Amino acid sequence: MTKKPEILLIYTGGTIGMIKDYESKALKVFDFDHLYENIPELNQLECHIESISFENPIDSSNMNINYWIAIVEIIEQHYESKDGFVILSGSDTMSYTSSAISFMIENLNKPIIFTGSQLPIGDLRTDAKENLITAIQIASAVDKNGFPMVTEVGLYFEYKLYRANRTTKINAEQFEAFTSPNYPPLAESGVHLKFNKNKLLRPDRNSKLVVRKKLIDNLIILKLFPGITEQIVKNIFEIHGLKGVILETYGSGNAPTEKWFLTLLKKALRKGICIVDVTQCIGGSVMLGQYETSIELQKIGLISGKDITTESAVAKLMYLLGEKIPNSEFKSVFEKPLRGEMSS
Ligand code: ASP
């Protein structure tokens, strides 16, 4: 008999871990030590599940770098003994967190699957059970040679597994809360769980796991809008200690051609601030130089975020700034896909 896969469930907080206290009618955090009693369906899964919960589970709006480090440290400690990881988190910042984890862990050979839910696990109409059960099945799935099917950070929600660093939360009401505008689902759950095998990242089984924990968070997202003033942009670029800017531009990476705007960008670049051009559009890619309104951005050396999401750009910038890459190489390193987060 083959050994059952060992899965580690990490609860960080969020709606999924809530259960109704029938006396007070209030939602309270579910006790993960009694996982199997509360969700007996888990007994039917072909795996063994152990769970770890944050001592004080958080609403994901309170997520920050220290919690990301806590998550990767739990994974690091259990990496050898477990076959797969399922991380339960609030959905509000799940795309940021799962993107960050994808950059912080290099040479991943095992699945790390994020999931959450729109309704608590204790609610009659909950989406939590399906999300949790299928996320565990995905984390346990192996190919015909017995290797893990998924060897990257995924996000499973409402019947679809996505590459986590390609996702964005698009809905606060519907069960289908996430989308991946520029990359197809890695798996879809219908009557059968179907993997989109040629879209999955191929693992490098000979390289050792590397965990990076030095993220730098002195950055800002600056979303352009018609009428943005010189004074505001100037003040932003003068923020003490600012290291990076995610510039959310229009369409395929376009921005005003006014002289003051370009002068401020050039000055910031000269100071060593990294500026990444990402599009405000939900789908599609930055293509610097396609329009007159982006030719100058290209000439002055803005980094093209290509088809990366803003969430993933934030995580990648924090990660790469922490890697102390020389200024002369930073642009070319950022513009290369590192974990499948952008097209090449
Ligand atoms: N506000 C919650 C959170 O992100 C929503 C959720 O759990 O999905 O933690």
pLDDT digits (tens, 9 = 90+) for 177-203: 999 999 999 999 999 999 999 999 998
Residue 205 has pLDDT above 90, yes or no: no
Please check whether residues 200 and 229 belong to one and the same domain: no
Kindly give the distance from the C-alpha atom of residue 155 to the centroid of ligand 1, in angstroms, as a whole number: 15
| Alpha carbon of 14 to ligand 1 centroid (Å) | 4
Which atom of ligand 1 is least distant from the CA of 15? Answer: 7
Q: Give the mean pLDDT of 305-328.
A: 96
Calculate what percentage of the chain has a pLDDT beyond 90: 85
What is the pLDDT, as a whole number, of residue 314?
98
The pLDDT value recorded for residue 174 is 95
Query: How confident is the model over 292-299, as a mean pLDDT?
Result: 92
Q: What is the CATH number of the domain that holds 324?
A: 3.40.50.40
pLDDT for the residue numbered 20: 75
Judge contact between 41 and 133, C-beta under 8 A: yes
Q: Is 91 in the pocket of ligand 1 (CB under 6 A)?
A: yes
Q: Average pLDDT for residues 151-179, to the nearest whole number?
A: 97
- The answer to whether residue 85 is domain-embedded is yes
Asked, for residue 344, whether it belongs to a domain, the answer is no
pTM, two decimal places: 0.96
From 211, 240, 273, give the residue that closes a domain. 211
Q: Which of 211, 240, 258 is the last residue of a domain?
A: 211
Question: Catalytic positions, please?
Answer: 15
* Cβ–Cβ < 8 Å for 183, 163: yes
Residue 6 has a pLDDT of 97
- Which residue has its alpha carbon closest to ligand 1 atom 6? 90
Assess if residue 71 is contained within a domain: yes
Identify whether residues 145 and 96 lie together within a single domain: yes
How far apart CA 112 and CA 74 sit, in angstroms, is: 12
Atom 3 in ligand 1: residue holding the nearest Cα: 90
For ligand 1, the distance from its centroid to the CA atom of residue 295, given in whole angstroms, is 40
> Residue 50 C-alpha to ligand 1 middle, in angstroms?
23
Q: Which of 11, 16, 56, 60 to mutate to test the pocket of ligand 1 (most atoms within 8 A of CB)?
A: 60
Say yes or no: CB of residue 59 within 6 Å of ligand 1.
yes
Is 343 a residue whose pLDDT tops 60?
yes
Q: Are residues 180 and 82 in the same domain?
A: yes
Task: Kindly give the number of the ligand 1 atom that is closest to the alpha carbon of 118.
Answer: 8
Span 75-83, mean pLDDT? 98
Least confident of 4-18, 32-46, 126-140: 32-46
Average pLDDT over residues 141-159: 96
- 17 C-beta closer than 6 A to ligand 1: no
| 200 and 238 within one domain | no
Q: How far is the CA of 167 from the centre of ligand 1 (A)?
A: 16
Q: Does 146 lie in the same domain as 62?
A: yes
Q: What is the rounded CA–CA span in Å between residue 160 and residue 167?
A: 11
60 lines ligand 1 (CB under 6 A): yes
Atom number, ligand 1, closest to the C-alpha of residue 177:
8
Q: Domain check: are 195 and 249 in the same one?
A: no
User: Whole domain around residue 126: which residue ranges?
Assistant: 6-211
User: Over the stretch 5-29, which tens digit does the pLDDT of each residue have?
Assistant: 999 999 999 988 887 777 887 777 7
Specify whether 207 is located in the same domain as 285. Answer: no
> What is the distance in A from the centroid of ligand 1 to the CA of 259?
42
Instruction: Say how far residue 326 (Cα) sits from the centre of its chain.
Output: 25
207 and 223 housed in the same domain: no
Ligand 1 atom with the shortest distance to the CA of 91 = 8
* Phi, psi (rounded to 5 degrees) for 32: -70, -10
Other CB atoms within a 10 A radius of the CB of residue 181 amount to 14
CA dihedral angle for residue 54, residue 59, residue 64, residue 66, rounded to 10 degrees: -10
Q: Is residue 342 in a domain? A: no
Ligand 1 atom closest to residue 58's alpha carbon, by position in its atom list: 9
pLDDT value, residue 250: 97
- The answer to the question of residue 224 being in a domain is yes
Identify whether 279 is part of a domain: yes
What local confidence, expressed as pLDDT, does residue 1 receive? Answer: 54
